[in-house]
Amino acid sequence: MLKFLEDLKNRNHRRIQGGLELLKYIGPGLIVTVGFIDPGNWASNLAAGASFGYSLLWMVTLSTVMLIILQHNVAHLGIASGLCLSEAAEKHVRPSLARPLLWSAMAASAATSLAEILGGAIALQMLFGLPVKLGSVLAAALVVYLLFSSNYRRLEKWIIGLVSLIGLSFIYELSLAPVDWGRAATGWVVPSTPAGSMVVVMSVLGAVVMPHNLFLHSEIIQSRQWNLEDEKVIRRQLKFEFTDTLLSMLVGWAINSAMIIMAAATFFKAGKPVSELQQAREMLAPLLGGHSGPVFALALLFAGVSSSVTSGMAGASIFAGLYGEPLNLKDSHSRMGVYISFIAALAVILFIGDPFKGLIYSQMALSVQLPFTIFLQVYLTSSRKVMGAHANPRWMAALLSFIGLVVAYLNIRLLLSLFAG
């Protein structure tokens, strides 16, 4: 009996130790999650729910499944090679191909920053009445300050805290809405493309599966330092990374789904299409109660600031990779990547007439660049020269290629729908 109790005690101790060890690896996935609950997602999801009800929820499910596979795979690149996606492309792809691909990724980073900064500015307008252009400059300045004055670990804690606040905000909003859960369950699993929905479908895809996040994840996964020569250490990193990625992506799926469901249960049900985020806040007050509007605006501000930090980090990682360097916000190349991403975004914001459409089309632009990043990733993670024994098996390479082809097919459908329109 004493031996049984001793064995039970030892097993429980190992479980507790394993759980505590897992907590040390949680973080990089949540940083990536911020990227797909950004203001661009808010616009895409509100447009999806307000215009098409629950029928486009399946796109969040499909996009999240794609995202889990892609993010898990690109994190393996960082763990097994010690290189981010940008560094690996610069080192292992001929310059005539690598350079255009990486510059297109920089353009995608700028498009992402546009949505993040614009969302933060819209939130400031909702809360304090500031003009959008002034709010954009203030939001960008705040994010640059956060990036250049804080180390990664401190930023990670801030961002995880902000993700938690965003999630709680939407749980609160959703608790007030009269949701048809039967239709929502059907919408999650049954594909449907109502007439006129392709732009929104592609913006939802681009808002969830974001090119800059693939670059960023391969970079920040390396914040957990390890010995590249020790195979046991690498395998432990790979094991815990998947748990971090899976849990984090499911958090993102839940929050994105909540946005569409909230819009479907309120705006679509009331027959009130949403054409701007400010309008959504004003409409929520009479539909859901007086506190919902300020909660919506504050959550949007948290999303804008936190996702701007991650888009700036992604721009820094991509640009530093062009010079074969890792992300280091004290280095001139990394800082230049942040400036290029934010200055390009602010330049476009100054000429945007309709901020809500700017958010939608910025996310659509990400989906257009996405196949190029996916096929670059497939090439690198399938190469034994890059990955060694951790190169993709054939089935994984085929699955990743299939995802790239699906995204390319959806882009072709989008172009055809635009020309037909």
DSSP 385-404: HHHGGGSPPHHHHHHHHHHH
pLDDT band at 11 (very low <50, low <70, confident <90, very high): very low
DSSP 81-95: HS--HHHHHHHHS-H
Distance, CA of 190 to CA of 414 (rounded, Å): 20
231-263 and 2-25 helices, crossing angle to 10°: 70
Task: Name the token pair of 248.
Answer: 């984090």
Q: 372 — phi, psi (to 5°)?
A: -65, -40
CB hemisphere CA count around 42 (13 angstroms): 34
Distance, CA of 334 to CA of 103 (rounded, Å): 14
Distance, CA of 298 to CA of 315 (rounded, Å): 26
**220-260 pLDDT tens trace:** 887 655 445 556 666 676 667 788 888 888 888 988 898 89
**Which of 58-67, 117-126, 237-246 shows the lowest mean pLDDT across its residues?**
237-246
Q: Which CATH class is domain 30-369?
A: mainly alpha
What is the residue-averaged pLDDT of the chain?
Answer: 81
Query: How many other CB atoms sit within 10 Å of the CB of residue 317?
Result: 29
- Which is more confidently placed, 302 or 117? 117
Q: Where do the domains of the chain lie?
A: 30-369
pLDDT at position 255 is 84
Burial tier of 381 (Cβ tally within 10 Å: 0-12, 13-18, 19+): buried
Model confidence, pTM:
0.82
Give the distance from CA 251 to its chain's centroid.
11
Task: Name the token pair of 313.
Answer: 């980090």
Distance, CA of 410 to CA of 198 (rounded, Å): 9
Task: Name the token pair of 19.
Answer: 């759980």
Distance, CA of 273 to CA of 216 (rounded, Å): 35
Distance, CA of 394 to CA of 404 (rounded, Å): 15
**Which of 9-18, 195-204, 250-259, 363-372 shows the lowest mean pLDDT across its residues?**
9-18
Distance, CA of 31 to CA of 9 (rounded, Å): 36
Task: Name the token pair of 261.
Answer: 């469901």
DSSP class of residue 228? T
